[in-house]
């Protein structure tokens, strides 16, 4: 279930001079309805412009303005109000001097600003995806109010959860000294893929608990859906000074989220969720593959649709693609049989053979070589000899059983 669609439905109620917009979600993968009225605690007006100097919490990314900088002025005002309110755990952001009182435009601006805020702030795992908007007009001013809800009760509870999350983050990055950026990225990709189960208790996107869209679900509860995985990689890579971005789009008709990662001054797509497609019967991952590890725009677009592609960096080099970097790509100019034998030896400690190739008729050639070298007892046959074969685009995985 690779789902990351921004779902936004409005119910507009006019009451004298106050207009209330009930948003049913700004979720990346879930649909939740909030009909409980306005929040009980109020915040003051938020007129300060957001910047990296405003720390929502201590896990904040080094640059938490990537998506903020893409917004128009009205959207930036909304984003700033949300950031200040979340920092203080206020349940309402109050915004004056908004330049357009059209309800539909306001609701669209809030949707865009909220989406940008969540993309810039993976550390905010405690803000619920549902919010409410109200517009009040008077002779003197026009005010927007955004009501927010949290899944924590106070700052003490937040601090306890931040400690839990930070402890896991630190455990992942402790032993990475001396590795280059590609090696660090690969270690974190594989570690998270093995440690965290893809949440699959339901195929109904409206029933996925919000926690599994967050880094708390990923790091602490060890279950996540695609945006939870992408946010976790965003936090981890930022901690080791590797630039990364949160990307949304679609796989076929299914919403999805992944990362852009900058290695050696070049951008690549990294889709950890899609690299977990080889699963055990219980849903866990024992074989981590790398089909979507540092791929180009051209490669990712064979299966993905990218939201607002014109607003993200271009990814058009292959030098740090997993298969090229690890010398596990077989070209038409290579001796296929010899290269497979070399890869089998190099990967003998793994429970799968994995490579990529642009050679014609790979399956037939591959099976001939595997039979010849008796890979995993293949030539012997027998009830105990089992292999699973996976192919996605130009990548091939033969899983030992």
Place of tokens 């869209």: 213
What residues pair up with 306 in beta bridges, in sequence order? Answer: 249
* Alpha helices (H) along 71-102: 73-87
Q: For the chain, 401 residues long, give each residue's pLDDT as a single digit of tens.
A: 433 322 222 222 222 233 444 443 433 333 222 323 323 333 445 568 899 999 999 999 999 999 999 999 999 999 999 999 999 999 999 988 666 667 888 899 999 999 999 999 999 999 999 999 988 877 767 788 999 999 999 999 999 999 999 999 999 999 898 899 999 999 999 999 999 999 887 766 668 899 999 999 999 999 999 999 999 999 999 999 999 999 999 998 889 999 999 999 999 999 999 998 877 767 677 888 999 999 999 999 999 999 999 999 999 999 999 999 999 999 999 999 999 999 999 999 888 899 999 999 999 999 999 999 999 888 877 555 566 777 788 999 998 87
In angstroms, the CA 67 to CA 76 distance is 10
Enumerate the domain spans of the chain. Answer: 10-151, 163-325, 327-401
Phi-psi region of 178 (alpha: psi -120 to 50; beta: other; left: phi over 0): left
Q: 327-401, what's its fold?
A: Ribosomal Protein S8; Chain: A, domain 1 (3.30.1370)
What tokens does 260 get? 């852009």
pTM above 0.95, yes or no: no
User: What's residue 390's pLDDT?
Assistant: 75
User: On the CB side of 390, how many CA atoms lie within 13 Å of its CA?
Assistant: 19
* Confidence (pLDDT) at 7: 29
Work out the number of other CB atoms within 10 angstroms of the CB of residue 256: 29
Check residue 400 and give its pLDDT.
82
The CATH classification number of 163-325 equals 3.10.620
Q: Which residues contact 7 (CB under 8 A, 6 or more apart)?
A: 24, 25, 26, 27, 31
- 3-class state of residue 66 by DSSP: coil
Q: Which of 1, 17, 284 is nearest to 139 (CA)?
A: 17
Q: 226-239 and 181-195 helices cross at what angle (nearest 10)?
A: 140
pLDDT of residue 299: 95
Domains 163-325 and 327-401 share a fold: no
pLDDT for the residue numbered 101 = 63
């Amino acid at each position: 279930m690779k789902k990351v669609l921004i779902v936004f439905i409005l119910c507009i109620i006019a009451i004298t001079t106050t207009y209330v917009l009930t948003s049913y979600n700004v979720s990346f993968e879930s649909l939740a309805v909030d009909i409980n009225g306005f929040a009980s605690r109020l915040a003051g007006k938020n007129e300060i412009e957001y910047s990296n100097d405003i720390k929502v919490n201590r896990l904040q990314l080094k640059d938490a303005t990537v998506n903020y900088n893409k917004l128009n002025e009205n959207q930036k005002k909304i984003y700033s109000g949300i950031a200040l309110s979340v920092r203080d755990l206020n349940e309402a952001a109050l915004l004056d001097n908004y330049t357009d009182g059209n309800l539909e435009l306001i609701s669209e601006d809030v949707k865009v600003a909220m989406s940008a805020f969540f993309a810039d702030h993976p550390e905010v795992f405690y803000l619920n995806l549902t919010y409410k908007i109200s517009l009040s007009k008077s002779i003197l001013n026009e005010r927007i109010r955004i009501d927010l809800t949290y899944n924590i009760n106070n700052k003490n509870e937040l601090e306890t959860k931040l400690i839990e999350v930070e402890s896991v983050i630190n455990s992942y990055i402790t032993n990475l000294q001396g590795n280059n950026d590609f090696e660090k990225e690969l270690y974190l990709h594989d570690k998270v893929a093995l440690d965290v189960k893809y949440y699959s208790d339901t195929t109904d996107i409206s029933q996925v608990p919000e926690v599994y869209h967050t880094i708390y679900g990923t790091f602490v509860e060890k279950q996540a859906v695609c945006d939870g995985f992408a946010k976790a990689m965003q936090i981890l890579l930022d901690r080791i000074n590797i630039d990364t971005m949160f990307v949304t789009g679609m796989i076929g008709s299914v919403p999805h989220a992944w990362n852009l990662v900058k290695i050696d001054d070049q951008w690549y797509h990294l889709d950890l969720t899609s690299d977990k497609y080889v699963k055990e019967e219980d849903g866990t991952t024992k074989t981590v593959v790398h089909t979507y590890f540092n791929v180009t725009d051209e490669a990712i677009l064979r299966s993905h649709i990218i939201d607002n592609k014109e607003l993200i960096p271009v990814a058009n080099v292959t030098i740090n693609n997993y298969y090229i970097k690890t010398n596990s790509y077989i070209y038409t100019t290579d001796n296929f049989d010899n290269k497979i034998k070399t890869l089998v030896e190099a990967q003998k400690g793994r429970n799968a053979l994995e490579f990529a190739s642009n050679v014609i008729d790979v399956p037939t050639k591959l099976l001939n070589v595997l039979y010849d070298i008796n890979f995993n007892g293949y030539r012997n046959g027998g009830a105990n000899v089992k292999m699973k074969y996976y192919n996605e685009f130009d990548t091939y995985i033969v899983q030992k059983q």
